[in-house]
Amino acid sequence: MEKISISPVGDLLVYRCGYTPEFVNDTIRKMRLRGLRICVMLEKERLSDLNFLSEYGFLRVLDITSYVDYDMSCLSSLTNLRELTISQNGKATIDLSAMSLLEDLAIRWRKGRVVGLDRCCNVNDLCLIEYEENDIAPISELLNLNRLRLKTSTIRTVEGIQNFRRLQTLELGACRRLKSLGALRNLPNLRRINFDSCPNVDDISVLAGMEHLEEVELYNCKLVAGLDRVRTLPSLKVLFLSGNTRET
| DSSP single-letter state for residue 52 | G
CA–CA separation, 115 and 147 (whole Å): 20
CA–CA separation, 136 and 43 (whole Å): 36
- Looking at the chain, list the stretches that DSSP marks H as alpha helix, in order from N- to C-terminal side: 21-30, 227-230
Rounded to an integer, the average pLDDT of 195-203 is: 97
Cβ–Cβ < 8 Å for 159, 137? yes
CA–CA separation, 240 and 219 (whole Å): 8
Using pLDDT thresholds of 50, 70 and 90, give the confidence band for residue 239: very high
Rounded to an integer, the average pLDDT of 73-78 is: 97
Structure confidence at residue 2 (pLDDT): 62
Rounded to an integer, the average pLDDT of 24-43 is: 95
Using pLDDT thresholds of 50, 70 and 90, give the confidence band for residue 138: very high
Structure confidence at residue 3 (pLDDT): 79
Cβ–Cβ < 8 Å for 208, 229? yes
Strand order from edge to edge, sheet including 12-14: 12-14, 35-40, 61-66, 83-88, 104-108, 125-131, 147-153, 169-173, 192-196, 215-219, 238-242
| Residue among 68, 76, 56, 70 at smallest CA distance from 13 | 56
Angle formed at CA 41 by CA 82 and CA 4, multiple of 5 degrees: 65
Per-residue pLDDT tens over the stretch 159-179: 999 999 999 999 999 999 999
* Percent share of the chain, pLDDT over 90: 94
Rounded to an integer, the average pLDDT of 176-205 is: 97
pLDDT averaged over the chain?
A: 96
Integer angstrom CA distances of residue 136 from 67, 109, 210: 27, 13, 20
CA–CA separation, 144 and 103 (whole Å): 9
| Residue among 86, 92, 122 at smallest CA distance from 106 | 86
Virtual torsion, Cα 106, 111, 115, 120, nearest 10 deg: 30
Using pLDDT thresholds of 50, 70 and 90, give the confidence band for residue 44: confident
Per-residue pLDDT tens over the stretch 1-31: 567 999 988 899 999 999 999 999 999 999 9
Structure confidence at residue 211 (pLDDT): 93
Using pLDDT thresholds of 50, 70 and 90, give the confidence band for residue 45: confident
Using pLDDT thresholds of 50, 70 and 90, give the confidence band for residue 122: very high
Global pTM reads: 0.95
